């Protein structure tokens, strides 16, 4: 077990999650959380090959028992002092006229985005509180979307889930800022450049999409500034 502060990244896919993991791995050991771990395992191997420390964990963030199991493994491997926890897991937007939507559409969106975010906060905040008083303010960071502040037709479930996520983050920030933990919500406004999105039109041009370099995420931690990307 290492005693060095570490970072936890949930929702490690080929876009923002991978970029955040690579960026934070330059400064900290990283625990990579993913529901489908094939990509995150390869990413962990890549980070290790470049001299970093990374371990991939398969977990369903919306399942409290599964989260408890995985965080038991994480603390056994890395210890109980976490410098940064980044939640990047999210439901996908599926545009559909409201009258065609079902309760299952809302349940799907809220289960990942809100329940997952809630479980992540419950699991990481005790570890972040252990890191207070150091050179860097421990940070709990959530990846949001424009839907958190602007709802759209045909996307009611997605919009509700993102509004709910932002409300959760604001409430957590209000409670834990006085205790020395920075809680932030970063809005990613656009389509991320990754294999899954290359077919999207009219943004079919690779250069029309956002490069997920995650520089602002690390800057939030190191400078204690909230940056909306």
Mean pLDDT over 155-166 rounds to 97
Long-range pairs for 217-222 at CB < 8 Å and ≥24 separation? 217/20, 217/23, 217/24, 217/86, 217/141, 217/186, 218/23, 218/24, 218/27, 220/139, 220/141, 220/182, 220/184, 220/186, 221/83, 221/84, 221/136, 221/137, 221/139, 221/141, 221/182, 222/136
Q: How far is the CA of 163 from the CAs of 85, 145, 148, 155, 183, in angstroms?
A: 20, 9, 4, 12, 16
- Reported as a single tens digit per residue, the pLDDT across 21-76 is 999 999 999 999 999 889 999 999 999 999 999 999 999 999 999 999 999 999 99
**Which alpha helices (H) appear in the chain, and where do they start and end?**
16-25, 38-49, 64-78, 103-110, 116-129, 156-176, 215-223
Q: Rounded to whole angstroms, how far apart are CA atoms 134 and 129? A: 11
Whether pTM > 0.95 for this model: the answer is no
Mean pLDDT over 146-150 rounds to 91
Residue 194, pLDDT score: 44
Residue 199, pLDDT score: 46
- Reported as a single tens digit per residue, the pLDDT across 75-134 is 999 999 999 999 999 999 999 999 999 999 999 999 999 999 999 999 999 999 999 998
Asked: is 6-223 a CATH 3.40.50.720 domain? The reply is yes
> Do 63 and 89 touch, CB atoms closer than 8 A?
no
Mean pLDDT over 2-13 rounds to 89
Please check the confidence at residue 222 and state whether its pLDDT lies above 80.
no
Q: Which two tokens mark 47? A: 């980070």
Q: Which two tokens mark 18? A: 């991978």
């Amino acid at each position: 077990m290492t005693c060095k502060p570490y970072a936890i990244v949930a929702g490690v896919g080929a876009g923002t999650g991978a970029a955040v993991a690579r960026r934070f791995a330059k400064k900290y050991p990283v625990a990579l959380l993913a529901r489908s771990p094939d990509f995150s395992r390869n990413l962990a191997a890549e980070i290790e090959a470049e001299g970093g420390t990374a371990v991939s964990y398969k977990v369903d963030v919306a399942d409290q028992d599964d989260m408890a199991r995985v965080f038991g493994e994480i603390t056994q491997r890395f210890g109980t002092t976490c410098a940064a926890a980044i939640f990047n897991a999210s439901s996908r937007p599926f545009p559909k006229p409201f009258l065609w939507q079902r309760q299952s559409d809302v349940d799907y969106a809220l289960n990942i985005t809100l329940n997952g975010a809630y479980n992540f906060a419950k699991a990481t905040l005790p570890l972040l509180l252990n890191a207070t008083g150091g050179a860097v303010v421990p940070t709990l960071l959530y990846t949001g979307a424009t839907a958190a502040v602007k709802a759209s037709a045909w996307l009611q479930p997605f919009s509700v889930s993102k509004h709910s996520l932002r409300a959760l983050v604001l409430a957590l920030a209000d409670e834990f800022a006085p205790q020395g933990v920075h809680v932030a919500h970063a809005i990613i406004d656009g389509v991320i450049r990754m294999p899954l999105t290359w077919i999207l039109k009219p943004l079919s041009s690779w250069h029309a999409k956002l490069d997920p370099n995650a520089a602002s995420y690390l800057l939030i931690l190191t400078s204690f500034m909230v940056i909306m990307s």
